[in-house]
Chain A
Amino acid sequence: MCMSDLPDQNISPEHKAFLKKVKLKKISIVFTQITLLILFFVMWELAARFEIVDAFITSQPTRIVKTVINLYREGQLFHHIGITCLETIIGFILGTAFGTLIAIVLWWSEFLSKVLEPYLVILNSLPKIALGPIFIVWIGAGPATIIVIALTISLIVTILEVLNGFLAVDREKIKLVKAFGANKFQVLTKVVLPASLPNIINALKVNVGLSWVGVIVGEFLVSKAGIGYLIVYGGQVFQLDLVMTSVLILAIAAALMYQGVVYLEKVIVGKRQHKSTG
C-alpha cells in the first residue's frame, strides 16, 4: 500500500523539454489572441479612415477613445458604469442567495417541491423580461426595478440548478451520515451542501451572465442611467460612437466579473483539490 501515482520529484531532461514545450504552446496561444484583437481594431480603424465603411454607423476605435474621454470629463463615465455594476452585483448576489435558500427549502420538503414543480417549470420557460413593465408600475422606474428584473431572470435557473445538484448527491454518502445518527439538518450541512458546492458555483457562473442580461434589459426599459441606458439613448439619437463605446465597456465589465467568479471558484473548490494535484 503506497501513495497513488504521485509524479517524480526530480526532474529529468525529458520532463524539462516537455514543460518547455507546454509553456511555448501557451505563450503562442496568448500571443495569437492578442494579435487578433489588435488586428481587429486596426482594421476597423483603417476601414473607417479610408471610408470603406461608414464611420457614422460603425463608429471607429479613435472615436470610441474620444467618447470615453468625453464621458470621463463630464463625470458620466464612472457614474454609469458604477450604477450598472452595482445593480448587477446586487441582482447576482440576491439571485444566488435566494435561489440557494429556496432550493434548500424545496430539498427539505419533498411535498412543497412536488407542489411547486409545475409552477417552476412554467416560470422557467416564461421570458421574464415580459414582467418588466409590471415591475415598473409596481416598484417605479428606478434601480430597484432593474434589480428585481435581474433577480427574476436568474432566480428560477438557480433554484433548479442547485436543487438538481442537491438531489444528485450520492445516496450512499447520505446513508453513511445517517448511520452515524445524523438528523436532516446534519445531512444538509455535512453532506448535501459541501457535496454540491461545485454545482452552486456553476450556478454562480451562469448567474453572472444572466444578471447582466437582466440589468441591461432593465435599463433599456427604465431608461434613466447606466450602460444600458447609454446604449438605448445612443441608438435613439443616432450616436453610434456612444453605443459602441458602451458595448465595449459592457464587454470588459462582464468579463471582469466572470473572472471574479472563476477566482472565487479557485479559492473555494481549489482548496479541497489543489493538494491532490501537488
Chain B
Amino acid sequence: MEYIVEIKNLGKKYQSLNGEINALENINFSIRRGDFISIVGPSGCGKSTLLSLISGLIPKTYGRVIINGRESPDVPDEIGYMLQKDQLFEWRTILENALLGLEIRKTLTKRTKEDVVQLLATYGLFEFKDKYPSQLSGGMRQRAALIRTLATKPEILLLDEAFSGLDYQTRLAVTEDIYFIIKKEGKTAILVTHDIAESISMSDRVIVLTKRPGRVKAVHEINLSCKNRTPLSSREAPEFRHYFNIIWRELDVHV
C-alpha cells in the first residue's frame, strides 16, 4: 500500500438555519508514509474542517477518506490530534495528562504506562511528570501535549495551528523541537498553519487551499538544497524565498 492517507473527492457542507455553508469542495490528495504535509489557506477556508474529517470527528458530506487502505466510520486509532492550545488538563499531572488517550481507549496497562514514562524521559519531561501543567513553560507544555498524542502510538499526527498560541521565539524553538520528535518517531504529519514560512520550513509538501469553499489550489513539493534539513536551517535555504513568494501570491491576501 503506497499511501497512508488518501482523500478522494471529499466535500463538507455545514447545515444551519441561516443556510448551508459549503466549507470544502472536491478535495483530492494523498500522503505517503512518513511525509510531513502542511495545509495553508485563507481564514475560514475549511482547514480545521479538513482535519476533523480526516480524524472522523465530524461526518463528511461526500467523498472518501481512506486511511491505511480502510474507510472507518468513527475515529481511527492510527490518528493523533494536536489542537491549537496544548489543552493539558489542569487537574491532572503531566503523567496523568499523557495517559489520557490510553485511559480513554482502555489500553492503559503497566506496560503502556511504562512506555509513556519512557517517552517523557526521552523528551526531557521525566522530572516534571508529577507536576501540574501550570508549573511548566509554554514550550514544555507543548511538548507534554505532543507526548500525550504520541502515547496512543498514532501513525498520523494532525496538528491544527498547534504552535500559534506561543510567542515567536518559543514558537521557533518548539517547531524545531516537535519536528525532531515527529521525525524521530517516524510519524506522518499534517500541519495546518497560517504561517507560510512555518509551512515551508517543516514540510515535504505544502497544499494551498482556496477561499471558502476550500478547494486544492496548488500543491508544492518542497525541495531545499540544505544539508541536515531542520525547520530553522530550511529558512536559510536559497529556494526558501522562492516558495514563500509563490505561496504568498497564491493566498492572495488583501488588507
- Interface set of A (CB-CB < 8 Å, partner B): 1-4, 6, 170, 172-173, 175-182, 186, 190-191, 194-195, 197, 272-273, 275-276
CB pair B104 A172 closer than 8 Å: no
Chain B's closest residue to A181 (CB) is B75
Chain B's closest residue to A191 (CB) is B89
> Known: A1-B140, A190-B104. Is A179-B81 also a contact (CB below 8 A)?
yes
CB pair B136 A181 closer than 8 Å: no
CB pair A177 B104 closer than 8 Å: yes
Distance between B31 CB and nearest chain A CB, rounded to angstroms: 18
CB pair A172 B84 closer than 8 Å: yes
CB pair B87 A181 closer than 8 Å: no
> Is B57 in contact with chain A by the CB < 8 A criterion?
yes
CB pair A190 B134 closer than 8 Å: no
- Give the residue of B55, B80, B85, B100 whose beta carbon is less than 8 angstroms from that of A177: B100
Chain B's closest residue to A176 (CB) is B87
CB pair A4 B137 closer than 8 Å: yes
Q: Which of A176, A179, A181, A276: most chain B CB closer than 10 A?
A: A179
CB pair B79 A179 closer than 8 Å: yes
- Interface set of B (CB-CB < 8 Å, partner A): 55, 57, 74-75, 77, 79-81, 83-85, 87, 89-92, 100-101, 103-105, 131-132, 134-137, 139-140, 152, 173
Distance between B42 CB and nearest chain A CB, rounded to angstroms: 22
B residues less than 8 Å from A4 (CB atoms):
134-137
Q: Which of A180, A273, A275: most chain B CB closer than 10 A?
A: A180
Chain A's closest residue to B83 (CB) is A172
> Known: A1-B137, A2-B137, A172-B87. Is A190-B103 also a contact (CB below 8 A)?
yes
CB pair A197 B135 closer than 8 Å: no
Q: Which of B87, B105, B140: most chain A CB closer than 10 A?
A: B87
- Chain B binding site: helix, strand, loop or mixed by DSSP? loop
> Known: A1-B139, A275-B132, A276-B135. Is A180-B101 also a contact (CB below 8 A)?
yes
Please measure, in the bound complex, the distance between the C-alpha atom of A178 and the C-alpha atom of B136, giving whole angstroms.
25
CB pair B91 A197 closer than 8 Å: yes
CB pair A181 B104 closer than 8 Å: yes
A residues less than 8 Å from B81 (CB atoms):
175-176, 179-180
Please measure, in the bound complex, the distance between the C-alpha atom of A211 and the C-alpha atom of B136, giving whole angstroms.
41
> Known: A172-B84, A181-B105, A190-B104. Is A272-B79 also a contact (CB below 8 A)?
no
B residues less than 8 Å from A190 (CB atoms):
100, 103-104
CB pair B132 A273 closer than 8 Å: yes
> Known: A172-B84, A177-B104, A181-B74. Is A276-B134 also a contact (CB below 8 A)?
yes
B residues less than 8 Å from A186 (CB atoms):
104
> Known: A3-B136, A190-B104, A275-B135. Is A175-B83 also a contact (CB below 8 A)?
yes
Please measure, in the bound complex, the distance between the C-alpha atom of A181 and the C-alpha atom of B91, giving whole angstroms.
21
CB pair A180 B136 closer than 8 Å: no
Please measure, in the bound complex, the distance between the C-alpha atom of A181 and the C-alpha atom of B56, giving whole angstroms.
9
